């Protein structure tokens, strides 16, 4: 590289949007159909949050070569390739029942490839405590029109669809909402997973009306609109500042070269990670 | 009620409310292990050096930030420590917003707050937030991590919702969805259908049947019984040209 004293920021930041839109659809976590009444829409599930961590690589201090996470069999004392890895449930110490993908899918075959919206609700009735993990649904070929119709109709009625589906080995309640023209899918916690806070409630006779009124006055003076972009993760900024300083001092180390075929795949991910980190810091400044 | 996770003080203006954090959600799920097919041994993760293809012990591992092809900047544990936020016991409330003002997509995790020593200020704050339909936007440092959150009232208790930073949330426009023309008639029928299928939100109606069935299946296998395999149900996508027809039929069905 011609200019090693600089993180290749500008070039990659410029590419950010392009690489994101190209990359997003391929990151499907789940594919299937979302349906309401007699309308079925082929979709793919993608992440709606990207943890904004600065990503680091574990290196070997002897040669600065990157480390790879591998599964190791303690019995045979050797690395195990992915095709030799199976899933087991421990019924007693050291004794497992093996469960295959097909068996797992057979547990709830009605829900492993379909999200059937049976009812709609008013979004405002859902306490935020129920929200677990947010995703987006992206239409597959041919589903774009009915996808748009569901998004538009829910937007207009301010409703959200409720369904259950199986993601990996877990059955989730899912809330389908309309979000800026897209369908968002948030998994919800089950009612019995929400613990009761009743035991924490303090004695009623704890505060007077006067105290409450003083409190209200103070709150009123601090009321504003929610502007989440004002808050950012400072640790990330500090880490990237530190890295930039070290880059200027040319304090980098170099890893030895290894076989081409392994390298190429890893590199694409690594570069995206760097680009993302740089982009995020720039935005939050 | 779960055990205390952390103890802190809610602060704004001259208000100081000492609280204890408790978990509000508990998940219980079937946990699987990864096994080796040939000998059923439980597998362990191991870090392997890409160059000499051998396991690397923890004391020979370092963290590096990649700046170029095969080039890294090493960061020492002391340097990571310097980037850590200063530890504190203050839950600093910066401003208040309306309860509906925070999109639930931001909510990552929820804690219940129990009053620690003073009930008076706790009660006054919970009652005021409830009455004003307000929540406090706050930041705090817990276990060497900086958090951003929303302080709310839930009945008579206070709750602290951990929020995601806004730059961690993927924007719908990045999905690259194409605009699609819909007729007014289609949207009208779609909306009417949704209204007809709308009910009150009753979370207790939804129970995790899958978890129970999964445990039953494992028990069956444990005693050597054969498991029946089913193909997942697939729905046939509605063709764009048949959308209006499907909507009309749905509406009739819902009536």
Nearest in space to A188 (alpha carbons), one of A174, A200, A167, A209: A174
Are A98 and B35 contacting, i.e. CB atoms less than 8 angstroms apart? yes
Strand partners, B239: none
According to the model, what pLDDT value does residue A198 have?
85
According to the model, what pLDDT value does residue B151 have?
98
Residue B58 makes CB contacts below 8 A (sequence gap 6+) with: none
Block residue for tokens 């690395």: A79
According to the model, what pLDDT value does residue A14 have?
24
Instruction: State the burial class of residue A109 (Cβ atoms within 10 Å of its Cβ: 0-12, 13-18, 19+).
Output: middle
According to the model, what pLDDT value does residue A28 have?
65
The minimal CB distance from B43 to the residues A54, A80, A99 is found for A80
Using a CB-CB cut-off of 8 Å, the residues of chain A touching B37 are 84-86
According to the model, what pLDDT value does residue B180 have?
82
What 3-state class would DSSP assign to A213?
A: helix
Q: Do B61 and A169 touch (CB under 8 A)?
A: no
Q: Do A166 and B210 touch (CB under 8 A)?
A: yes
Are B34 and A89 contacting, i.e. CB atoms less than 8 angstroms apart? no
Using a CB-CB cut-off of 8 Å, the residues of chain B touching A78 are none
Are B139 and B92 contacting, i.e. CB atoms less than 8 angstroms apart? yes
Q: Do A71 and B43 touch (CB under 8 A)?
A: yes
- CA B67 to CA A236: how far, in whole Å? 16
State the maximum Cα–Cα separation within chain B, in Å, rounded to a whole number: 70
Instruction: Count Cβ atoms below 10 Å from residue A277 Cβ, excluding itself.
Output: 21
- CA B71 to CA B90: how far, in whole Å? 41
Query: To the nearest 10°, the Cα dihedral for B180, B185, B189, B192?
Result: 110
pLDDT, mean of each 10-residue run, chain B (255 residues): 87 95 88 91 91 90 90 90 90 95 92 89 94 96 93 94 93 90 93 96 91 92 90 92 94 89
Are B185 and B251 contacting, i.e. CB atoms less than 8 angstroms apart? no
Check residue A94 and report its DSSP letter: T
Beta strand pairing call for A95-98 and A182-188: unpaired
Q: Do A243 and B73 touch (CB under 8 A)?
A: yes
- CA B52 to CA B218: how far, in whole Å? 41
Alpha-carbon A206 to chain mean position? 42
Check residue B39 and report its DSSP letter: T
Distance from CA of B182 to the nearest CA of A (A): 7
Are A8 and B71 contacting, i.e. CB atoms less than 8 angstroms apart? no
Strand partners, A192: none
Distance from CA of B86 to the nearest CA of A (A): 10
Block residue for tokens 């919800």: A188
Strand partners, B92: B11, B139
Q: Do B231 and A226 touch (CB under 8 A)?
A: no
Using a CB-CB cut-off of 8 Å, the residues of chain B touching A81 are none
Using a CB-CB cut-off of 8 Å, the residues of chain A touching B96 are 219, 222-224
Exposure string of A69-85, with b = 16+ CB inside 10 Å and e = fewer, is ebbbbeeeeebbeeeee
Name the closest residue on chain B to residue A7, using Cα atoms: B67
What's the token pair of residue A73? 């069999």
Q: Do A107 and B124 touch (CB under 8 A)?
A: no
According to the model, what pLDDT value does residue A66 have?
93
- CA B138 to CA A276: how far, in whole Å? 26
Q: Do B250 and A191 touch (CB under 8 A)?
A: no
Q: Do A232 and B167 touch (CB under 8 A)?
A: yes
Q: Where are the alpha helices (DSSP H) in B72-147?
A: 77-83, 119-132
Using a CB-CB cut-off of 8 Å, the residues of chain A touching B3 are none
- Total count of residues recorded for chain A: 285
Are A258 and A65 contacting, i.e. CB atoms less than 8 angstroms apart? yes
Q: Do A61 and B221 touch (CB under 8 A)?
A: no
Strand partners, B93: B138
- CA A70 to CA B48: how far, in whole Å? 7
Strand partners, A59: A66, B62
Name the closest residue on chain A to residue B104, using Cα atoms: A128
Using a CB-CB cut-off of 8 Å, the residues of chain A touching B137 are 226, 231
Q: Do A88 and B33 touch (CB under 8 A)?
A: yes
Strand order in the sheet with A67-73: A78-79, A67-73, B44-49
According to the model, what pLDDT value does residue B100 have?
86
- CA A129 to CA A190: how far, in whole Å? 10
pLDDT by 10s per residue, chain A, length 285: 333 322 322 222 222 222 222 233 335 689 999 999 999 999 999 999 987 777 889 999 999 999 999 999 989 888 899 899 999 999 998 899 999 988 988 888 888 899 999 999 999 999 999 999 999 999 999 999 999 999 999 999 999 999 999 987 789 999 999 999 999 999 999 999 999 888 888 876 556 888 899 999 999 999 999 999 999 888 888 888 888 888 888 778 899 888 654 444 444 444 444 444 444 444 433
Are B122 and B178 contacting, i.e. CB atoms less than 8 angstroms apart? no
Name the closest residue on chain B to residue A202, using Cα atoms: B119
Distance from CA of B179 to the nearest CA of A (A): 8
Block residue for tokens 């009444």: A37
Distance from CA of A259 to the nearest CA of B (A): 9
According to the model, what pLDDT value does residue B239 have?
94
- CA A90 to CA A97: how far, in whole Å? 6
Are A231 and B166 contacting, i.e. CB atoms less than 8 angstroms apart? yes
Nearest in space to A121 (alpha carbons), one of A176, A165, A188, A180: A176
Q: Do A71 and B34 touch (CB under 8 A)?
A: yes
């Amino acid at each position: 590289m011609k200019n090693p004293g600089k993180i290749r920021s500008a070039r990659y930041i410029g590419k950010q949007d392009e690489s994101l839109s190209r990359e997003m659809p391929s990151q499907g976590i789940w594919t299937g159909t979302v349906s309401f009444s007699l309308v079925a829409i082929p979709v793919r599930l993608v992440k709606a949050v990207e943890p904004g961590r600065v990503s680091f690589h574990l290196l070997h201090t002897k040669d600065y070569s990157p480390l790879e996470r591998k599964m190791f069999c303690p019995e045979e004392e050797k690395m195990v390739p992915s095709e030799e890895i199976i899933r087991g449930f421990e019924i007693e110490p050291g004794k497992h029942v093996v469960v295959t993908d097909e068996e797992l899918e057979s547990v709830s075959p009605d829900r492993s490839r379909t999200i059937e919206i049976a009812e709609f609700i008013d979004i405002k009735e859902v306490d935020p405590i129920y929200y677990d993990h947010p995703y987006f649904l992206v239409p597959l070929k041919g589903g774009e029109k009915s996808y748009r119709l569901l998004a538009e109709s829910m937007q207009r009625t301010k409703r959200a669809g409720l369904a259950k589906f199986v993601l990996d080995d877990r059955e989730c309640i899912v809330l389908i909402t309309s979000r800026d023209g897209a369908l968002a899918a948030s998994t919800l916690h089950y009612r019995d997973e929400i613990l009761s806070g009743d035991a924490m409630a303090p004695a009623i006779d704890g505060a007077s009306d006067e105290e409450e009124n003083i409190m209200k006055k103070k709150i009123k003076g601090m009321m504003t609109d929610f502007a989440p972009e004002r808050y950012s993760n400072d640790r990330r900024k500090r880490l990237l500042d530190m890295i930039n300083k070290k880059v200027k001092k040319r304090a980098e180390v170099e890893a030895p070269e290894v076989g081409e075929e392994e390298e190429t795949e890893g590199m694409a991910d690594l570069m995206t990670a760097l680009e993302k980190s740089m982009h995020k810091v720039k935005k939050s400044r | 009620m779960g055990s205390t996770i952390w103890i802190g003080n809610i602060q704004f203006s001259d208000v100081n409310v000492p609280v204890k954090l408790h978990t509000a959600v508990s998940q219980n799920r079937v946990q699987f292990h990864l096994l080796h097919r040939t000998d059923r041994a439980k597998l362990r993760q191991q870090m392997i050096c890409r160059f000499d293809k051998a396991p690397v012990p923890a004391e020979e591992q370092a963290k590096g930030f990649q700046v170029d092809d095969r080039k890294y900047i090493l960061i020492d544990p002391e340097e990571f420590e310097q980037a850590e936020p200063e530890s504190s016991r203050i839950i600093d409330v910066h401003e208040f917003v309306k309860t509906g003002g925070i999109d639930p997509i931001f909510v990552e995790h929820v804690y219940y707050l129990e009053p620690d020593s003073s009930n008076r200020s706790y009660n006054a704050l919970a009652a005021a937030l409830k009455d004003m339909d307000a929540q406090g936007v706050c930041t705090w440092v817990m276990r060497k991590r900086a958090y951003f959150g929303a302080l709310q009232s839930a009945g008579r208790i206070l709750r602290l919702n951990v929020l995601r930073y806004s730059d961690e949330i993927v924007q719908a426009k990045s999905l690259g969805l194409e605009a699609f023309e819909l007729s007014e008639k289609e949207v009208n029928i779609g909306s009417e259908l949704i209204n007809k299928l709308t009910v009150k939100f009753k979370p207790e109606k939804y129970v995790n049947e899958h978890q129970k069935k999964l445990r039953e299946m494992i028990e069956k296998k444990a005693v050597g019984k054969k498991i029946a395999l089913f193909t997942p149900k697939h729905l046939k996508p509605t063709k764009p040209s048949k959308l209006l027809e499907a909507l009309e039929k749905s509406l009739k069905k819902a009536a």
